[in-house]
Structure 1
Amino acid sequence: MKFIKKIRELNRKRNHLKKKLKYKIALYKATKKWRRMPTEKIAPSKVRTALMIRNEGKIGDAIVSTCILRAMHEAGINIDVLAIKANEMIFSGNPFIRNLYLTDEMDPRDMYNHAIPDDLIITLKNNNYDLMIDTGIWDTGLYMPKMIQAISPKISLGFNKQKWLSHYDVNIAFNHYQSHVKEIYAAIMNYLGFPDASNQRYEVYYKQSISDEVKAIDFFIGDNKKVIINMYASHDDRNLTPQQTKEIISGILLKNKNVDIVVLDYKKSFVKDFFIGAKVYHVPSLYHAMAAINLSDLVISPDTAVVHVAALYDKPLIGIYRDIPDNNKLWSPGYKNGHQIFTSTFVVGEDASLVDNVLNAIDKFNLN
């Protein structure tokens, strides 16, 4: 049985290497097929228009990327964002964005199909950008050489690009083992010569009426400290189980009497009084979840998108992470009030010590 398992593991590694080699060859061919046309080069200090590519990634990635928008605007740079429809709510209404363009999400290995309508490509080209920013630190999209050729920015900036990928004028090395994801944007700010590049904050804008609506909900009224528990992550194997959630609630109430606990449930999986000692909030939208977190005194979550929302409001946080070296620093809370704990199992719901670890971490915060 062990022999068969070993063979399967070797086959998986071989298939992974074959796919990676196939991707590298395809990317190299793309650079030759869609060569970068010569453009007028300018100094970073002369940049006045920029396009930030945010057409991949999840909600958390998008939230982090907002940390650069105010600084660019205040430096006199007109910044446009190319985002995906699923992340529109993170960028819409932001006063520091000149134009927000939307497209479908792209897989980096899509064969030269940039999924952007031709009329939008023409619009982006006609904007005559001084700078195009590709924030991806992993695989470069196979569509990027064609897109860069079509848009033809004066400067194209990327991270961790191969030397032969000449479509990028500026290639910044980024070590994801040692750096938080927001350091991507600090590096861009340093390149542009902005002072105090480390002073970053996330910014997402939504209607005041949503905040007022959430404030009026009965379990957000009163002077008790508010604890928000988010059970869900982007993958089911990272979710808190109902039993873990019940035990965390019981443990909090055992030590803290004047506390109101709210469980966020956008899936509407539980009736509102399912958890003894807590209320279930059927969250209508991401904005409502953000408004709820803004009213909290402590957030507990296994999902990094919620972690970044808590960071946006500088809320005390217990972020629950699997112990994966690629992610531990990169997607950590990244702020003083954010506390990070690691599970001992790959599936969060199978970690028998998780509840105790969460409750021990809560002792660091004053809920009385």
Structure 2
Amino acid sequence: MILTFKRSRTIFGLFILELTNSTILKISRPVKDMKFIKKIRELNRKRNYFKKRLKYKIALYKATKKWHREPSVKISPSEVRTVLMIRNEGKIGDAIVSTCILRTMHEAGISIDVLAIKANEMIFSDNPFIRKIYLTEEMDYQDRYNHAIPDDLINTLKENNYDLMIDTGIWDTGLYMPHMIQAISPKISLGFNKEKWLSHYDVNIRFNHYEHHVKEIYARIINYLGVPGASQQRYEVYYKQSITDEVKAIDFFKKESKKVIINMYASHNDRNLTPQQTQEIISGVLSKNKDADIIVLDYKKKFINDFFHGAYVYHVPSFYHAMATINLADLVISPDTAVVHVAAMYDKPLIGIYRDISDNNKLWSPGYRNGHQIFTSTFVVGEDALLVDNVLNAIDKFDFN
């Protein structure tokens, strides 16, 4: 559903519900009951979280007042011909998913510019469906009113006179966004799950992350614009053929055999596979198919080439090389990270290893038929004693002989 916001007169009602859900206790005497102490600590954590959230909400509300936006010139969605998509964070997986909108919009006659950062520029480089990539510094949502974009770039973006500016974030709104929207002044600004008093957004789309994959937000954008093809989403990242040729030249890929790619690393250490888990997965894979060739991606260069018995360690020179490697694979095994979305882009059989977190399970699932998702029994992936068996059992879902 698409909603247009009107400014609320007060922000204080926003915090009443949060306040009633928080409990603050002060203890004046020693307590020996460890369960009670644990409960107090939990309540204190909730109190601290509430205080942090309240501080952020107040700062965001002040930003809307400080950087007040005059009413923009409204146009109908069907009139949109120029778009600026904001991708000013370093999450590579998010950037890959956002490419699913580019071809459809381009074919509908819409010119798309992307505001990116150096860390994710490679995902958008050489994409024929992007008109222009602008680079800025990475911004955290708690960065305050200064938008961290050079004035000359802001002036350029303003002069581009965009019909539509898309804030792809579905969580917290950056404290810098009111300033950015005011400065760039698009005809329409579109966001997801925004507060009613955040008047800088002309269009707000409600999105339930418990029920939908993140790529659904891009289908909603396409539907808003009235462009056909919202269901025909396709991730697309472009790189030189020479990189694919370089990967194909590795002895590993010259053999006629099943190729298994194992990625150990996620964006957080508590989601990484341990060396022991990796070795046990390798041994299990070979017990199912002794002729399989297994390659372990190691962009951190932690392990020598023959560290794992029965597998080759590939010191990946770039993310493009990792992508080319995955494109040549018959099976990919990886924790929840950008590699999952690369496997989705090439429709590769995948076993994605996820922690069981309700906010994440559907939203960042593989999101395609060949992507199989398993959940760990522990928060730290490396501590899950059942993980290896679960991975090996999942392999049986694919034709791996």
TM class by shorter chain equals over 0.9
Question: What is the CA–CA distance in structure 1 between the aligned matches of 2:89 and 2:316, rounded to whole Å?
Answer: 25
Match of 2:257 among 207, 213, 224: 224
Which residue of structure 2 aligns with residue 308 of structure 1?
341
Equivalent in 375, 382, 395 of residue 342 of structure 1: 375
- Matched to 2:264, the amino acid is M
Q: Indicate the structure (1 or 2) with the bigger Cα radius of gyration.
A: 2
The alpha-carbon deviation at position 39 of structure 1 amounts to 2.0
**CA separation in 2, counterparts of 1:247 and 1:194?**
48
**What code does the residue aligned with 2:238 have?**
Y
Aligned length: 368
Offset, 1:113: 2.0
Deviation of 1:2 after TM superposition, in Å, equals 2.8
The answer as to 2:213 corresponding to 1:191 is no
Equivalent residue runs for 1:135-214 within 5 Å: 135-214=168-247
1:354 to 367, 375, 387: 387
CA shift for structure 1 position 17: 0.5
Q: Does 1:27 align with 2:27?
A: no
1:52 matched to which residue of 2? 85
Q: Percent identity?
A: 85
Map of 2:400 onto structure 1: 367
1:309-328 equivalence runs, <5 A:
309-328=342-361
For normalisation by structure 1, the TM-score amounts to 0.99
Amino acid at match of 2:239: Y
Residues 1:78 and 2:111 are matched in the alignment: yes
Quick one: which of 272, 283, 303 aligns to 1:270?
303
Segments of 5+ residues of structure 2 without an aligned counterpart are 1-33
RMSD between aligned residues: 0.8
Provide the C-alpha distance between the structure 2 equivalents of 1:165 and 1:3, rounded to a whole number of angstroms.
41
Match of 1:296, SS? coil
Match of 1:332 in 2: 365
Counterpart in the other structure of 2:153: 120
1:290 aligns with 2:327: no
SS state at 1:164 partner: coil
For residues 72-93 of structure 1, the C-alpha deviation after alignment (integer angstroms, 9 at most, x for no partner) is: 1111111000012110110111
Could you tell me the TM-score, scaled by structure 2's length? 0.91
| Offset of residue 105 of structure 1 | 1.1
Post-superposition offset of 1:35? 1.2
Q: Deviations over 1:120-159 (max 9, x none)?
A: 0000000000000001011101111111111010000000
Give, as a single letter, the amino acid of the residue that structure 1 aligns with 2:276.
Q
Q: Deviations over 1:322-347 (max 9, x none)?
A: 00000000000000000000000000
CA distance in 1, matches of 2:77, 2:204: 14
Matched, 1:103 2:136: yes
Equivalent position of 2:38 in the other structure = 5
Matched, 1:215 2:229: no
CA distance in 2, matches of 1:189, 1:37: 26
Q: Distance in 1 between matches of 2:151 and 2:359?
A: 37
After superposition, what is the alpha-carbon deviation per residue over 1:251-275, rounded to whole angstroms, capped at 9, x for unaligned? 1111112210000000111110011
Could you give the per-residue CA deviations for residues 54-87 of structure 1, whole angstroms, max 9, x where no partner exists? 1125000000000001111111111000012110
Please state whether the residue corresponding to 1:156 is helix, strand or coil: strand
Letter in 2 for 1:31: T
Aligned mates of 2:300, 2:65 — CA distance in 1: 47
Quick check: 2:104–2:229 contact (8 Å CA) kept in 1? no
Amino acid at match of 1:326: D
Q: What secondary structure does 2:365 align onto?
A: coil
Partner of 2:72: 39
Q: Tell me the CA shift for residue 305 of structure 1.
A: 0.4
Q: Counterpart of 1:191 in 2: which secondary structure? A: helix
